[in-house]
Amino acid sequence: MSILQGKKVLLGITAGIAAYKTAGLVRLFIKSGAEVKVIMTPASKDFITPLTLSTLSKNPVHSTFYDKEDENELWNNHVDLGLWADIMLIAPATANTLSKMTNGSCDNLLLATYLSAKCPIYFAPAMDLDMYKHPSTKSSLESLQSFGNIMIPATSGELASGLVGEGRMAEPEDIVSFIENDMLSKLPLKGKKLLLTAGPTYEAIDPVRFIGNHSSGKMGFAVAEAAANLGAEVFLVSGPSHQKIKHSLVNRIDVTSAQDMYDACHNYFNDVDIAILSAAVADYRPKNVASQKIKKKDASLVIELEPTKDILKSLGEIKKDQLLVGFALETNDEVSNAKKKIEKKNLDLIVLNSLRDKGAGFAGDTNKITIIDKDFNETGFDLKSKKEVAKDIINVIVNKLSK
């Protein structure tokens, strides 16, 4: 899955011959799962039609502050466009536009949007070689980068003038890869490894029966996805769960019992930076597992249970620099019970769910959490979808790691 999946890309096109390549660029962004809006300088419409770009982007294309042909004369709000975008790309970026961007001129919609955008801005220069080499262009390129804009350098090759040299806009595939790589390298959990447990455990009674619980694994899987989306390599140790996950950074390790989960966690823990244990691990298991299916009898059946190992506590005992996060599902004295768990299990953070909160808990799609840190600072969150809750949890962790 591309990091551009679900991202909002604002493509600004200026009047260079390379504008004809932006049709391919829009298609590549759409293929990678991005949503694309296009704004053009008026002169760029001589090189490629807005109809082509609106058809490919599935969005209206704007080049003026209001559409004269539109009887309602709707104002194309440059501030809204700038705020809408997760990234803005100006490609091709001509010498003229680069110079205006440097000086803060905004005599067209594209330039006004550039000036008001708060997102990362990439630009791909394209011009003839002598223009590219000109000190004023060099100075624009330097200034724009010093403002925090990201340049996708022009390449060398045959130019529209027939001359050969530097000034060709990077190819659309290379522009998209450049942006993907740049975004990946800036993810806050890039290079971090995360161990995560999710789902229930099943404790065998005999070859066909087990003791289990209603945990769906939804919360843990959502956390895995949220962490991977921020660049973490995730080792997701999952008990039996119907949840599915497809992400190149998530490695799924399927286990069944508490002991399997314990073994898997100890296998990975030394190598990770963060461990989040969200699984609903069985606290007890049958002391003796019958090797044959237990036959029905008239008398009542007693199964002796013994405690399972507390995985979270065992990791708390051996942890070095890892950030260790536990979950607590409580029905009463929630905060004080959660705080006791922080101390007992040597945690850095605990995510508390109260079963008294409507919409919190095992099977549903929503959750309501309070995160408590080891200094007992509490942060409460609203009832949200588990995907949103997962993002909140990961954001708290990112903040902790950056301190």
119-138: which residues touch ligand CTP (CB under 6 A)? none
Task: State how beta strands 233-238 and 193-198 pair.
Answer: parallel
Collect all residues with Cβ–Cβ distance below 8 Å to 209 and sequence separation of at least 6.
Answer: 293, 294
Which token pair is 102?
């440097």
Indicate which residue of 213, 337, 346, 395 is catalytic: 213
Nearest distance from C-beta of residue 273 to ligand CTP, angstroms: 18
In the stretch 241-260, what mask flags binding to ligand CTP with x, by CB under 6 A? -----------------x--
Among 87, 121, 144, 329, binds ligand CTP (CB under 6 A): 329
Q: Judged by CB under 6 A, does residue 283 bind ligand CTP?
A: yes
Helices 109-116 and 95-103, packing angle to 10 deg: 50
342 binds ligand CTP per the rule CB under 6 A: no
Cβ-based neighbours of 191, under 8 Å, separated by 6 or more? 231
391 vs 21, 29, 230, 233, 385, CA distance in Å?
37, 24, 10, 16, 10
Q: Is 2 a binder of ligand CTP (CB under 6 A)?
A: no
Dihedral over Cα of 67, 68, 73, 77: its sign = positive
Beta bridge partners of 350: 326, 372
Rule CB under 6 A: is residue 277 a binding residue for ligand CTP?
yes
Q: Which of residues 178-197 bind ligand CTP (CB under 6 A)?
A: 197
Residues 6+ apart with CB under 8 A from 285: 203, 204, 211, 257, 258, 259, 305, 306, 308
Q: Are 10 and 39 in contact (CB under 8 A)?
A: yes
- Site for ligand CTP contains 333 (CB under 6 A): no
Judged by CB under 6 A, the stretch of 58-66, 98-106, 169-177, 273-281 that binds ligand CTP is 273-281
Say whether residue 281 binds ligand CTP (CB under 6 A).
yes
Q: How far is the CB of 311 from ligand CTP (least distance, A)?
A: 3
Quote the least distance from Cβ 396 to ligand CTP, whole Å: 15
Active site residue 346: no
Neighbours of 247 (CB within 10 A): 15
223 contacts ligand CTP (rule: CB under 6 A): no
308 sits near ligand CTP (criterion: CB under 6 A): yes
Active centre residues (catalytic): 213
Q: Which residues bind ligand CTP (CB under 6 A)?
A: 197, 258, 277-279, 281, 283, 308, 310-312, 326-329, 341
